[in-house]
Amino acid sequence: MSSIKNILVTGGAGFVGSNLCRHLVTSGSIVDCVDNLITGREESISDLMDYNSFQFIKKDITDSDFVSIFKQNNYDEIFHLACPTGVPNIGRLAEEMLITCSKGTDNVLTLARLCNAKLVYTSSAEVYGDPKVFPQTESYNGDVDPVGPRSAYEEGKRFSEALVSMYVKKYGVDAEIVRLFNTFGSGMSPDDTRVIPQFFKKIRLGENIVIYGDGNQTRAHMHVKDLVRGLVLVTAKGTPGDVYNIGGSKQMTIKQLAELIDSLTSSTVNIEYRPHFIEDHGGRLPDTNRIQSLGWKPVVSIAEGLLEMMPGHGVPINKNIENMSKVYTGQFDQNICFEPLL
Ligand SMILES: NC(=O)c1ccc[n+]([C@@H]2O[C@H](COP(=O)([O-])OP(=O)(O)OC[C@H]3O[C@@H](n4cnc5c(N)ncnc54)[C@H](O)[C@@H]3O)[C@@H](O)[C@H]2O)c1
């Protein structure tokens, strides 16, 4: 039997998916990337088109012929990432989120069952809603409003998780759930609606950085390289049916994040506060003990990850990476680490 793996990545033209496809292809696997490009971009995988072991198929995973088309490929592993993303998109793409998370996930799980493939599903910290418990462990059930303004994404992810769990129990599918906390890094579209690309975009345009709310809401950002290592690790060592949080270990307020980016870029723009356009979550912090027990830990600091993103965004870097630990003198969490980028 060949040791070369045949892998399907759904949502492979997205931010995380493109980084994952790149890792898998350059590690010697044969990779099919399926994506309908609703929030992804073909440019993010253009460098991979030169590889014979990589194929992009533009297709919606909710299509009724999805399983019949893909089942002949007999995948060894499936990374199921496809889902429209971005908090500002929740209203506009609510239907697509719900159908992708229900019908789409059901199709992908059926495919995994027919191929006898191992599957990893990328869920989200949003399944915890606006958490009341810190840090969030996998056993925390969260605080989610099923008809609230964020419900299309939050309940979509929760329903997908229920489907994965059912396929493990009823059909013996070898599948794990990974709950991703805020991830950033190279490969994010400059137009991505998430906070870090938005801050960069404003600086690039010479406009004020806009913070929605008072800026005291916290997030624990994780670099995409750490995430990709975690997804591959869970595929190799995870227990079917188990849920694994993955995310950064340091909480930072959105205001601190804006100040850090402002400081790193020598920007002359101001920070502007506006009322939030959607009900926001006060904070998020993952308990990652379970995935750490498999051998994972995050190694890329937020400052280094931000620096790595800057040239692609056309933002001048005013600081030398060797001086990073001396750069930022603001009030952000002093535990923010500055380890070398791997
Ligand atoms: N990046 C994060 O911080 C983060 C946090 C929590 C969870 N996640 C989850 O991780 C996964 C990847 O996120 P991302 O940041 O790369 O987002 P992304 O929007 O960049 O990538 C998702 C991809 O899925 C594709 N897609 C959506 N619906 C589809 C459908 N019906 N058929 C085929 N393709 C479809 C999109 O076009 C896009 O390319 C998503 O499931 C997301 O919910 C990401």
Cα–Cα distance measured from residue 74 to residue 82, given in angstroms and rounded to the nearest whole number: 19
Same domain, 94 and 209: no
| Residue 56: inside a domain | yes
Cα–Cα distance measured from residue 114 to residue 116, given in angstroms and rounded to the nearest whole number: 6
Query: What total number of domains does the chain contain?
Result: 2
Residue 255 is which amino acid?
A: K
* pLDDT reported for residue 1: 56
Same domain, 115 and 201: no
Q: How large is the angle between the packed helices 224-237 and 15-26, nearest 10 degrees? A: 60
The pairing of strands 252-253 and 218-219 is antiparallel
Domain around 34: 6-183+221-246
Q: For residue 85, report the distance from its CA to the centre of ligand 1, in Å.
A: 5
* pLDDT reported for residue 250: 87
Same domain, 103 and 196: no
Residue 66 near residue 46 (C-beta atoms within 8 A): no
* pLDDT reported for residue 62: 98
Q: Whose CA is nearest to atom 32 of ligand 1?
A: 60
Same domain, 175 and 321: no
Q: Which of 117, 81, 61 is nearest to 9 (CA)?
A: 81
| Residue 294: inside a domain | no
Residue 301 has a CB neighbour count (10 Å cut-off) of 21
Same domain, 92 and 235: yes
Taking the complete model, does pTM exceed 0.75, yes or no? Answer: yes
Name every residue whose Cβ is closer than 8 Å to that of residue 318 and which is 6 or more positions away in sequence.
264, 265, 266
Query: Which of 85, 103, 228, 309 gets mutated to test ligand 1 (max ligand atoms within 8 A of its CB)?
Result: 85
Pocket residues for ligand 1 (CB within 6 Å)? Answer: 11, 13-17, 34-40, 60-62, 81-85, 100, 104, 122, 124-125, 180, 182-183
CATH, residue 70: 3.40.50.720
Same domain, 74 and 134: yes
Q: In this structure, what token pair is assigned to residue 225?
A: 């390289």
Q: For residue 300, report the distance from its CA to the centre of ligand 1, in Å.
A: 22
| Residue 295: inside a domain | no
CA end-to-end span of the chain:
33
Same domain, 109 and 193: no
| Residue 335: inside a domain | no
Same domain, 169 and 273: no
Q: List per-block mean pLDDT (blocks of 10 residues) for the chain, which spans 342 residues.
A: 90 97 98 97 96 98 98 98 93 97 98 98 96 95 94 98 98 98 90 86 89 89 97 98 95 91 82 79 89 96 88 40 33 30 26
Residue 45 near residue 56 (C-beta atoms within 8 A): yes
Q: Is 153 a catalytic residue?
A: yes
